[in-house]
Amino acid sequence: MKKGFLSYFTTQLKRYVKGLPLIIAITVLLIGAIGMIAYSFMKERSDSEEQNLAKIGVVGDLEGTYLGIGISAIESLDASQYTISFENMTEDEAQKALSVGDIPVYIIVPENFLDDVVSGKDVQLQMVGRGTQGIGGIIITELADVISVYINSSETAIYAMQAYAWDKGDTEAYRSTADNFFLLEANNLFARDSALEPILIGVGNGSTMIAYYTCGIFLLFAMLMGISFCSVFVRRKNDVNKVLYSQGVYSWKQVLAEYLCYLLAVLVIITLIVGALSVASSAFDVKLALWSKTPREVRWLSTAQIIWQIYVKWLPAVGMIASLQYMIYELASGIVSSVLGQFLTAIALGYVSGLFYPMSFFPVPLQTIAAASPLKAAMDYCQSTLRWDMDAMHLVMIIMYAVVFLALSVMARRIKLKK
Amino acid sequence: MNIRKWFVLQILYFKRLFLKKSFVVLLCLVPLMVLGLRIISSEDNGIVKILLCMEDDRDELASQTVDYLLESDSVFAYEYCEDADEALKKLERGEADAVWLFPDDMLEVIRDYAKGNTDVTLVEVYEVEDTTSLKLSREALMASFYDAIAYEEYVGYVVDVIPKDAEVTDEELRMYYDYFKQDSSLFEYYNMDGTKWSAQGGYLTAPVRGMLALLILLAGIAGVMYFRQDKESGVYEYLPKSEEWLYRLSSQMISMFLIGVVSLVSLYLSGNTTSLPMELLLMAEYIVACALFSSLLDTVFGSLLIMGIVTPFIVLITFVMCPVFFSINGLLPIKCVFPTLYYLNGVHDVNWLIYGAIYIVAALVINIVADLIVNKGIRKNG
């Protein structure tokens, strides 16, 4: 019985080993190509004077309007966090720049804008974009609403002050002090960052954003890796499995042997990728920022720590994902269903499990549903390892999910064999 | 090409797809998942969760600001918390992203600030980590009471600086201010095609179009792999080599067509759609573009194993290069290789429909040339 399992395992392993050199060669080539594109992109940006700047086009004349106050206020934000600049352009230039994605939006200032504002008319500026485009577009509209409040309130105060002084006939006093009032308003607006300066408390349960996205990208990639081995899975022959079953290689043995071989192959690919990441991190001095255990402060991971903290500790999560992928291959029939099933599972589970957006983005009902997601357990577990307090509860959950997926795979195989 | 033979093959392919239960389940699952997301996204949610606390809930301005924030239609999720200590504990537990503590004499603090004393703390802000979203949230906080600051600046200036003979009354000052006050937003949002820009369906359903576009692209790649698998099993042995790519193209378009129909239905369920003719045109162009793209991948890589390995990378690169979740500036020559870019940009910009048509012509020419080269190579090698 034991011999049957081992010989089946060896046969399966040979199937993977046969294709593995090619898989490794192509993976290395692809990682190299993506790395080169990413490196040249980052280098081009760091060499540029306008690094990481999102430009917003302005069509029309801003001179003499108080729009400049709101715009300067936004530009005055910490450049390392917010990177927005405004650039005057013609409408044709703005349309072209928007069309090719050089600018996310542009603003059209009408010719008689200033006169209309002074005469108390309710005038509006046109902001032209390409749909909300997800979170980016929504942030732009939120920012525009903030600018709108700054400009509207500043203008209202200035025009009210001017009208008051004019009506009281003290035009000289108004003329001599108007600039000072304008300066007071501008100074107060620019000082808002210090007036609302946050008190930062490094806490145990939260991750740094970079640590969060490292987990998210890693798990998404591990999920998509399932597609890579579709050619191996779709070539399985049910008739051969039936013969093996009659010879004592039962469905659970077949599943276990196939799963272990698949897991080994996935681990080879993951090792390559983590290896490439480690080499890149030391070559280009890219480091990962995490919360340290004590004291609560941000610390940076070295290459060796990346391997220990990510590669070794995340293996249970990789194992669980491999079991989920294996189950999908077992349930789906044919290459189209298998590939689409793998992708749909990766994208849908990834989305609700907070791989793309943090869980706080989602409404409570979705967070409740996501709590039962295996990828959410994997995400929580991986994040906990990066916070230096490995979460045993999530580790147990991951192992349980893996067992359930393999049990379901055995059931599916049994049904297939009895057909 | 024998049209009858071609037609019979397509019908058989269609039937084979529908004989697979998992494929039918998948077709039904997509719209159901999108509908679920649409229902859930109507619930209150935000990109960061902020707890609002007051030192004294009898303070009028603080209460007004808190009420305004709680009622505002914002990308941030606000929640009122009576106890500041409890709010800070929630922040520590990771149950919130920030705590804003409003002072007990907010009007006095604002008057002080309006006079130019910018060293005061307007609202105490506690955060775990200062992220871009939280910086933006602080801008929204400032905007929530900026009108009060501007009014106090104006009042202070009129009372202290402008000389006057008579006493100034609060009503008079308020009258002048209210005359110029604008309540509506300074900006009106438009798309390039002149339609109104609105956050239809919220940000949770905004990436649905991008995700469905990736599914269609993958259906094209999977379709070509299916054809390759059949070919390796000898199903298409009788087909002339020169016509093979046409059969491959049409059969892969069947799976893409089915996924395309399901995607269109899902898009309507998500609420992120333009006009029906535009959607149909975009979808038809995208399916043809994806079919040519995946057909070219098959010609270049020529093996089921390699296609399998390359696919996750293609999906990941498309994620980054095309505006599925976010869009990056630059790298336009690389972005243009991926058909998803034309589809997603074409939704509100007709120019990209034209670029998409040019892409199709170029991809068709490259497909023909690539096929000629590969077939010539095969003939040479016997």
Give the pLDDT confidence of B193-209 residue by residue, as tens digits: 777 766 545 677 778 89
Distance CA B328, CA B79 (A): 33
Fold of A54-195: D-Maltodextrin-Binding Protein; domain 2 (3.40.190)
Mutate to test the interface with B, among A62, A80, A133 (most CBs of B within 10 A): A133
Distance CA B122, CA B141 (A): 10
B93 C-beta neighbours (distance < 10 Å), count: 12
Looking at residues B176-184, what average pLDDT do you find?
Answer: 81
Distance CA A94, CA A100 (A): 10
**Exposure string (b/e) for B3-22, b if CB count within 10 Å is 16 or more?**
eeebeebeeebeebbeebeb
Asked if the model's pLDDT at residue B213 lies above 90, the reply is yes
B329 alpha-carbon distance from chain centroid:
16
B303 C-beta neighbours (distance < 10 Å), count: 16
Mean of all residue pLDDT scores within chain A? 76
B157 C-beta neighbours (distance < 10 Å), count: 24
Looking at residues B129-150, what average pLDDT do you find?
Answer: 84
Name the pLDDT band for A390 (thresholds 50, 70, 90). low
Asked if the model's pLDDT at residue A80 lies above 70, the reply is no
Q: What is the pLDDT of residue A419?
A: 74
CB atoms A132 and B331 under 8 Å: no
The residue count of chain B comes to: 382
Please say whether the beta carbons of A61 and A109 come within 8 A. yes
Q: Which residue has the higher pLDDT, B273 or B278?
A: B278
Classify residue B87 by its DSSP letter.
H
CATH of B49-180 among 3.30.43, 1.10.10, 3.40.190, 3.40.50: 3.40.190
Q: Is A367 exposed, middle or buried (0-12, 13-18, 19+ CB in 10 A)?
A: middle
Q: Which residues of A touch B180 (CB under 8 A)?
A: 120, 155-156, 159-160, 163
Q: What is the pLDDT of residue A79?
A: 38
CB atoms A341 and B198 under 8 Å: no
Tokens of A226: 């399932």
CA neighbor of A395 nearest in space, from A337, A330, A304, A315: A315
Mutate to test the interface with B, among A184, A340, A356, A386 (most CBs of B within 10 A): A340
**What value, to the nearest 5°, has the Cα angle with vertex B342 and ends B299 and A94?**
145
Distance CA A326, CA B227 (A): 23
Q: Is B73 exposed, middle or buried (0-12, 13-18, 19+ CB in 10 A)?
A: exposed
- pTM score, whole prediction: 0.79
pLDDT 10s digits, B278-293: 999 999 999 999 999 9
Q: Which residues of A touch B44 (CB under 8 A)?
A: 363
Distance CA B23, CA B223 (A): 12
Rounded-to-10 torsion of CA A290, A293, A295, A299: -20
Helix (H) or strand (E) holding A86: strand A84-88
Q: Which residue has the higher pLDDT, A303 or A98?
A: A98
Tokens of B321: 């290069």
DSSP secondary structure string for all residues of A12-64: HHHHHHHHHHHHHHHHHHHHHHHHHHHHHHHHHHHHSTTTT-EEEEEES--TT
Q: Which residue's structure tokens are 């809930």?
A: B57
Looking at residues A349-354, what average pLDDT do you find?
Answer: 88
Please say whether the beta carbons of A321 and A307 come within 8 A. no
CB atoms B226 and A336 under 8 Å: yes
Nearest residue, CB atoms, A149 vs list B29, B143, B221: B143
Ranges in chain A annotated CATH 3.40.190: 54-195
Asked if the model's pLDDT at residue B263 lies above 90, the reply is yes
Q: Rounded to a whole number, what is the distance in Å from the CA of B268 to chain A's nearest CA?
A: 16
Asked if the model's pLDDT at residue A13 lies above 50, the reply is yes
Asked if the model's pLDDT at residue B362 lies above 90, the reply is yes
Mutate to test the interface with B, among A77, A130, A325 (most CBs of B within 10 A): A130
Q: Which residue has the higher pLDDT, B21 or B280?
A: B280
Please say whether the beta carbons of A150 and A73 come within 8 A. yes
Tokens of A334: 């044919």
Chain B residue with CA closest to A232: the answer is: B305
Please say whether the beta carbons of A147 and A71 come within 8 A. yes
Q: Which residue has the higher pLDDT, A117 or A405?
A: A405
Asked whether the bond before A295 is cis by omega within 30 degrees of 0, the reply is yes
Residue type, A385: T
Instruction: Collect all residues with Cβ–Cβ distance below 8 Å to A78 and sequence separation of at least 6.
Output: A193, B135
Rounded-to-10 torsion of CA A84, A88, A91, A97: -40
Give Rg (Cα) of chain B: 30
CB atoms A357 and B153 under 8 Å: no
Cα distances (angstroms) measured from residue B376 to each of A151, B32, B241, B369, B381: 68, 47, 10, 10, 9
Q: What is the pLDDT of residue B151?
A: 92
Q: Which residues of A touch B347 (CB under 8 A)?
A: 130-131
**End-to-end Cα separation, chain B, in angstroms:** 24
B27 alpha-carbon distance from chain centroid:
23
Q: Which residues of B touch A351 (CB under 8 A)?
A: 207, 211
Q: Is B311 exposed, middle or buried (0-12, 13-18, 19+ CB in 10 A)?
A: buried
Please say whether the beta carbons of B270 and B32 come within 8 A. no
CB atoms A195 and B113 under 8 Å: yes
Name the pLDDT band for A355 (thresholds 50, 70, 90). confident
Cα distances (angstroms) measured from residue B180 to each of A66, A73, A153, A183, B164: 14, 22, 9, 20, 22
Name the pLDDT band for A230 (thresholds 50, 70, 90). confident
CA neighbor of A42 nearest in space, from A306, A272, A286: A286
Q: What is the pLDDT of residue A412?
A: 92
Q: What is the pLDDT of residue A78?
A: 43
CA neighbor of A341 nearest in space, from A329, A349, A351: A329
Instruction: Collect all residues with Cβ–Cβ distance below 8 Å to B276 and sequence separation of at least 6.
Output: none
| Side-chain-side CA neighbours of residue A8 (13 Å) | 26
Alpha helices by DSSP H, listed for B161-243, are 170-180, 202-205, 208-232
Q: What is the pLDDT of residue B292?
A: 94
Distance CA B240, CA B217 (A): 27
DSSP secondary structure string for all residues of A126-173: EEEESS-THHHHHHHHHHHHHHHHHHHHHHHHHHHHHHHHHHTT-HHH
Q: What is the pLDDT of residue A300?
A: 62
Cα distances (angstroms) measured from residue B48 to each of A195, A227, B204: 21, 34, 13
Classify residue A391 by its DSSP letter.
-
Strands B124-127, B98-102: pairing is antiparallel
Nearest residue, CB atoms, A360 vs list B49, B88, B331: B49
Instruction: Collect all residues with Cβ–Cβ distance below 8 Å to A22 and sequence separation of at least 6.
Output: B305, B306, B309
**Exposure string (b/e) for A25-60, b if CB count within 10 Å is 16 or more?**
ebbeebbeeebeeeeebeeeeeeeeeeeebbbbbbb
pLDDT 10s digits, A192-211: 767 777 776 654 445 666 67
The residue count of chain A comes to: 419
Looking at residues B33-51, what average pLDDT do you find?
Answer: 81
Distance CA B142, CA A196 (A): 8
Helix (H, G, I), strand (E, B), or coil: what is residue A277?
A: helix
**Exposure string (b/e) for A134-172, b if CB count within 10 Å is 16 or more?**
bbbbbbbbbbbbbbbbbbbbbbbbbbbbbbbbeebebee
Looking at residues A331-339, what average pLDDT do you find?
Answer: 87
Q: Which residue's structure tokens are 């709590």?
A: A371
Nearest residue, CB atoms, A157 vs list B131, B138, B154: B154
ipTM for the predicted complex: 0.77
Distance CA A35, CA A133 (A): 27
Distance CA B315, CA B368 (A): 24
Helix axes B208-232, B21-41, angle to 10 degrees: 170
Q: Which residue's structure tokens are 């890796």?
A: A225
Q: Is A100 exposed, middle or buried (0-12, 13-18, 19+ CB in 10 A)?
A: middle
